[in-house]
Amino acid sequence: MKGADAEDRAEAHLRALGREVLRRNYRVPGGEIDLISREPDGTLVFTEVRQRRSARFGSAAESVTPRKLALMRRAALGYLTRELGRDDLPCRLEVLTIDGRALDGRLSLLPLD
């Protein structure tokens, strides 16, 4: 599973940043979050992992569509309400991109508004 390799690298990167990884591949009807982590200050971060071996069809960041963002928001809200029982906790969305091979391609974290 090539997607699993990118998610493994992403998880290791988030842990190296001092985050606690809470869940991986959290699914709700109509949405999914690849990684859910908590920063040392308690902020929850919902991370979409995107990897592209080649730029032939665009970069990893360019593969995140408005539809995907809407699905991420839906899944994040689902996690907050279903798993934690509230939707007013400090949190944010981000995309972790890997351009090139999953194990050694260029990795970037892109915050989303």
Q: Tens digit of pLDDT for each residue in 15-38?
A: 999 999 999 999 998 889 999 999
Residue showing tokens 């009807």: 29
pLDDT digit string, tens, across residues 44-70: 999 999 988 776 777 777 788 889 899
pLDDT at 30: 82
Domain spans, the chain: 2-111
Candidate CATH numbers 3.40.190.10, 3.40.50.300, 3.40.1350.10, 3.90.226.10; the one for domain 2-111? 3.40.1350.10
Give residue 47's Cα distance to chain centre: 2
Regarding predicted confidence, which is higher, 13 or 2?
A: 13
Reduced to 3 states (helix: H, G, I; strand: E, B; else coil), residue 100 is coil
